[in-house]
Amino acid sequence: MSLSLQHFIKWAGPFVALSLMQACSKNEFEGERPDERLNATLEAYDGLLAGASHGWKAHLFPAGGGGYGFLIRFDGRNRVTMLADITDETGNHAKESSYRLRAAMVPSLYFDTYSYIHVLADPDPDVYNGTPGWGLYSDFEFSFVSVSADTIRMKGNLSGSRLELIRASADEAAAYASGSLNSMRQQVTDFFQHRRFSYLEDAMGDVFNTSLNLETKTFSLVYDSAGTIAAKTFGFAFSGQNELVLSDTLRLGRLLIDRLRIDAESGELEATFGNQAFPFWESDAPLFPLIQLWGNAYEAIRVPMEVLYPGNGTEFNARREAFLHQAKSLLGAGTTFPEMRLTIDRREQLLFVNQIVRQNGNNFQSNFVFSYTLDNDGFTFQYEGAVDGNASFLEHAFVPVLEGFLYGKVQFEYDLLTDELRASGESTGLPGFRFVGLLQ
């Protein structure tokens, strides 16, 4: 007669059970322990990061949109230096901070003292115009997703930003050191400065209106999709000697691109995928009405407030000057109000009027919001109030300008009087209330 294992243990008593448990424990810990394997992995990653003698080209795409390029060098002793395409300062001056590798759940890279990467996640909106408390929904702690000798892909542990590191060549590192991040920004600015209505065209002749925003670091295409205007927006990061790497590969019709490239000799910009290139063309006239592009291809209309800008109406200028007189009496000497930025939320049907305040070399925002309805004759606005403390403080002084949006309807059109890409807003019920600003 045979006995089951349970019957055998019950019959033999605790001595056999103890022997079995001891055997299991002995076998379980034979070989390398999990924490030893993890430490070995972290050491290998650190060696890989520090082993790139010319550093890493880094492309960071925050969850909040946009893209940012870096050159990052790790020294293997928890020190890291970086250049970044965030501002002229970050593109010219390498900043040193610290990093560490550790694993809570998975192996992760922590930039653990303030660096250029932290600027994008700074919760103070005055640092880089981010969302209060969140910045650009970017990260400074990243888990490893995939690793090879030349490419490391990572994901932010809090917001899910994407970071890719690509081993830099000696020529690329030299370009970064000589200021390529800033020079590329200037080349792109120069390229689009006199191309108001640029577009790409695929092999089938389909056209895609293009716009590139250097402040939000986004590249947008607007196109006709079966009779409906559609738009796609991608972040981009300046990279190496002459590239703008897109956050995702763009596939539209016969158009397939993953980066923009600046020709070293001509300075011309082209969209590329592998060896295939699409040149940027220019149209003499808008491809689509402004109202279809504002909030899609174009984010803001930036209206200068301290100067008599060409195209402004007399009523707007009178109200603008009344605002400046009252606002400057409220704030300290030297305070200026360089521009009013108009942005639109098409889904929520809101217009945000952001008056920029400049003090001691720093820009501060003051946001006012209108709800609206839209028909063929233009926008009908209703004032909803000040959004933040700065706006509440300036609201009384800003009333002359705010009131101008409430007389009849306001129509927005391209302004074609100069070579710059400009737009105008004009009241149908308040003669002379017309303002002009740069489209961005």
| pLDDT reading at 8 higher than 60 | no
Q: Where are the domains of the chain?
A: 43-171, 181-287, 300-439
Exposed/middle/buried for residue 380 (C-beta within 10 Å: 0-12, 13-18, 19+)? middle
Exposed/middle/buried for residue 81 (C-beta within 10 Å: 0-12, 13-18, 19+)? middle
Q: pTM to 2 decimals?
A: 0.80
- Asked whether 321 and 329 are in contact (CB, 8 A), the reply is no
* Between 152 and 132, residue with greater pLDDT: 152
pLDDT score recorded for residue 264: 80
| pLDDT reading at 20 higher than 60 | no
Q: Domain 181-287, what fold?
A: Lipocalin (2.40.128)
List pLDDT tens digits, range 233-286: 999 999 999 999 999 999 988 899 999 999 888 889 999 999 999 999 999 888
Task: Indicate the Cα dihedral angle 267, 272, 275, 277, nearest 10°.
Answer: -70
| pLDDT reading at 23 higher than 80 | no
pLDDT score recorded for residue 265: 81
| pLDDT reading at 313 higher than 90 | yes
Query: Is it true that 43-171 and 181-287 share their CATH fold?
Result: yes
DSSP conformation letters of 109-151 = EEE-S--HHHHHH-S-HHHHS-BTTTBTT--SEEEEEEE-SSE
| pLDDT reading at 133 higher than 80 | yes
As a whole number of angstroms, the distance between CA 151 and CA 164 comes to 7
pLDDT score recorded for residue 157: 95
Which residues contact residue 21 at a Cβ distance below 8 angstroms, ignoring those fewer than 6 apart?
A: none
pLDDT score recorded for residue 105: 78
Q: Which amino acid is at 187?
A: Q
The CATH classification number of 43-171 equals: 2.40.128
Instruction: Of 273, 133, 129, 135, give the one whose Cα is nearest residue 200.
Output: 273
| pLDDT reading at 168 higher than 50 | yes
| pLDDT reading at 224 higher than 70 | yes
As a whole number of angstroms, the distance between CA 296 and CA 285 comes to 18
